[in-house]
Amino acid sequence: MNILSLFVLIPVVMLLGLWIARNLNQVRGVMVIGSSFLLALSVYLTVAFIQARQNGDTSAMLFTYSTPWFKPLNIAYSTGVDGISVVMLLLSSIIVFTGTFASWQLKPMTKEYFLWFTLLSTGVYGFFICTDLFTMFMFYEVALIPMYLLIGVWGSGQKEYAAMKLTLMLMGGSALLIIGILGIYYFSGATTMNITEIAAMHNIPVDIQKVFFPFIFIGFGVLGALFPFHTWSPDGHASAPTAVSMLHAGVLMKLGGYGCFRIAMYLLPEAAHELSWIFLILTTISVVYGALSACVQTDLKYINAYSSVSHCGLVLFALLMMTKTACTGAILQMLSHGLMTALFFALIGMIYGRTHTRDIRKLGGLMKIMPFLSVGYVIAGLANLGLPGFSGFIAEMTIFVGSFENNDVFHRTCTIIACTSIVVTAVYILRVVGKILFEKVADPHYEQLTDATWDERFSVCCLIFCVAGLGMAPLWVSNVINGGVSSVLSVINF
């Protein structure tokens, strides 16, 4: 049994467990046991991966396993991980684990909620472990559709509109992906759908590459909140229930960046070089526009959603710089953004659950009433604006240093423009922190509110621990990432 397949197998077993669970406690039990297993497994995988690398195993993918699936069509179930996917798996496990606790009190239809939630995580895990184009795509779509019901049924606000918009836009993206995947498969003349083998063949004509690169990059870019295809993100995040926002901003949006790097740029390297300027402009707009939009929002979730647009834009921006430092920074940013956005959304969910409003004009003085949540919020905010010691600083620093390594005017101009987002981020974070935490208590009813319960504290502490941990000791993570990035970049920069 391949260790990676367990990442799909465990959620499937969890689905069955949820199916037969009879009451709330059994549902919670299945979720806690399953997500703990997944967390333990991904920690074990990380350790095993680092050991294998230290023992001098330099092959691009480790723990590979392949078995034909649809043999006549050359489709195989093939798995394998490199440094990038290992940290992504770790991230997903952390978010699923904490997400379970963040939705501990969720009602109604708890069982169905967790059923779709687990199906979504199955897709996420499957996408990160697979190395076969078709299988990756299949898992990618598995991760998208549960969002519709999760937002539509358990969401708040304009949930029906947001759910439909999100689903349709993301599905539109995956429609583009199908064309791209078929184009890559047929024009490479490959008799396999394995991405490492197709990349090694490296024989798609440049003209053809230029046709299909935009399809795949935009297809994944929709999920990575690439301007102007990001519009699903604010509505979707604002309407989604807490754990779903966490999982969606924390992990699902990373699928976009990961796909752009792993499929679009890795398999179509010449086109990536020739067309990168278009997408660099778009991502620079994403970064700045997202940050500026966040400044004028009044809904806590909208602020965070736009901040996600800005930060995820930074991921794509760094990937397109195509230097080793920038790409390592991009992956670090995925990790860091995943963790701190999850933290943010968890806290916002908890505050909303108590005050029943997310409008910052109606909030104030929360520090006195719920100190634990407020301190958590401050920490999340500081991490978000890139304070040294937290993960955000490490990631953004690496990205901007790496981007500046490109010594032409265009790339440097883009970098400088994107850098301004750091300042803007500080503006919108500090504005919110000052307004909702430290001003006078806006509503006397708030005095009666309670601070976090044990399950909420647990989930928040886990995330803060990870955010700070990544900020204090980034070196081992960036070492793990580095290996993966350089093997992909060696193909991109041939």
Partner 1 sequence: MDYSQFFSMIPEATLMVALVIVFLADLILKGENKHSALSLLTGVLLVSQLAVCFMQTPAEAFSGLYVSTAATNIMKAILTGGSLIVVIMAQSWLQRADVADKEGEFYELLISTLLGMYMMMSSGHFLMFFLGLEMASVPMACMVALDKCRKESAEAAAKFIITATFSSGVMLYGISFIYAMTGTLYFDDVVNYIDATPMTIMGLVFFFSGLGFKISLVPFHFWTADTYQGAPTAVTGYMSVVSKGAAAFTLMAILMKVFAPIAEYYEYLLYIVIVLSITVANLFALRQNELKRFMAFSSISQAGYIMLAAVGSNGMALSSLIYYVLVYVVANMAVFTVINVVETRGKGNTRMSCYDGFYQTNPKLSFLMTLALFSLAGIPPFAGMFSKFFVFMAAAQNGSFLAYFVLFIALINTVASLYYYLLIVKAMYIKSNDNPLPEFRSDCNTKLALGLCTAGIVAFGVCSCVYDWIAAACI
Q: How far is the CB of 452 from partner 1 (least distance, A)?
A: 30
Q: Give residue for tokens 């990937």.
A: 319
Per CB under 8 A, does 161 bind partner 1? no
Site string for partner 1, 51-90 (x = CB under 8 A): -----------------xxxxxx-x---------------
What the block records as the tokens of 457 is 């504290």
> Residue 115 to residues 10, 11, 100, 163, 307: CA-CA distances in angstroms?
13, 10, 12, 18, 29
Per CB under 8 A, does 157 bind partner 1? no
If the CB atoms of residues 71 and 440 are measured against partner 1, the closer one turns out to be 71
Per CB under 8 A, does 183 bind partner 1? yes
Per CB under 8 A, does 152 bind partner 1? yes
Per CB under 8 A, does 491 bind partner 1? no
Per CB under 8 A, does 145 bind partner 1? yes
Q: How far is the CB of 159 from partner 1 (least distance, A)?
A: 8
For residue 105, the tally of other CB atoms under 10 A from its CB is: 13
Per CB under 8 A, does 387 bind partner 1? no
Identity of the residue numbered 283: T
Per CB under 8 A, does 168 bind partner 1? yes
437-472 burial by CB neighbour count: b if 16+ within 10 A, else e? beeeebeeebeeeeebeeebbbbbebbbebbbebbe
Per CB under 8 A, does 167 bind partner 1? yes
Q: How far is the CB of 230 from partner 1 (least distance, A)?
A: 17
Sign of CA dihedral 365, 366, 371, 373: negative
Site string for partner 1, 234-273 (x = CB under 8 A): ----------------------------------------
Give me the DSSP letters along 101-161. Answer: HHTTT--S-HHHHHHHHHHHHHHHHHHHHB-BHHHHHHHHHHHHTHHHHHHHHH--SSHHH
Per CB under 8 A, does 116 bind partner 1? no
Paired with 75 in beta bridges are 70
Q: Of the candidates 94, 95, 149, 291, which one interacts with partner 1 according to CB under 8 A? A: 149
Cα 232 to Cα 214: distance, rounded to the nearest angstrom: 20
Q: Of the candidates 7, 128, 134, 229, which one interacts with partner 1 according to CB under 8 A? A: 134
Per CB under 8 A, does 172 bind partner 1? yes
For residue 58, the tally of other CB atoms under 10 A from its CB is: 9
Residue 342's closest CA among 448, 433, 254?
A: 254
What the block records as the tokens of 348 is 């916002």
Q: Which residues bind partner 1 (CB under 8 A)?
A: 68-73, 75, 134, 137-139, 141-142, 145, 148-149, 152-153, 159-160, 164, 167-168, 171-172, 175-176, 178-179, 182-183, 185-186
